[in-house]
Structure 1
Amino acid sequence: MLSVVAVVLAALACVLGGLALRRTTPRAGGEGVDALPEDVHGLRQEVAALKAENRDALRHLSVVRYDAFGDVGGHLSWSLAVLDDAGHGVVLTSIHGRSEARTYAKSVAGWTCEQQLSPEEDEAIEHARP
Structure 2
Amino acid sequence: MDIVSQYIDEIILLLGLLAIILLIWNITISFKLKNLKKRFLRFSRGGSVNNLEQMIENFSSDMDEIKEIIAQNRKQLHLILEKLTNIKGQVGIIRYNAFGEQGNDLSFSIAILDEKKNGIVITSIYNRGESNTYAKPIEAGESRYQLSKEEILAIERATK
Bin the TM-score by the shorter chain. Answer: 0.5 to 0.7
Distance in 2 separating the partners of 1:42 and 1:58? 27
Q: How does 1:41-120 map to 2 (within 5 A)?
A: 44-69=74-99, 70-73=101-104, 75-120=105-150
TM-score under structure 1 length normalisation: 0.63
Instruction: Tell me the amino acid that sits aligned with residue 71 of structure 1.
Output: Q
CA RMSD of superposed structures (Å): 2.8
In structure 2, the residue corresponding to 1:90 is in which secondary structure? strand
Number of matched pairs: 102
Report the alpha carbon displacement of residue 71 of structure 1 after superposing the two structures with TM: 1.2
State percent identity of aligned pairs: 33
- Distance in 1 separating the partners of 2:156 and 2:118: 13
| Structure with greater helix share of residues | 2
| Mean CA deviation greater in 62-71 or 93-102 | 62-71
* Higher CA-based Rg: 2
| Secondary structure in 1 matching 2:154 | helix
Q: CA deviation at 1:40?
A: 6.5
Residue of structure 2 equivalent to 1:28: none
Secondary structure of the 1:78 match is strand
Unaligned 5+ residue runs, structure 2? Answer: 1-58
Give 1:116 shift.
1.3
Where structure 1 has 5 or more consecutive residues not aligned to the other structure, the ranges are 1-30
Q: Which has the higher contact order (CA 8 A, sep 6+)?
A: 1
Q: Residues of 2 paired with 1:44 and 1:64: CA distance?
A: 40
User: Structure 1 counterpart of 2:157, which letter?
Assistant: H
What is the letter of the counterpart of residue 114 of structure 1? R
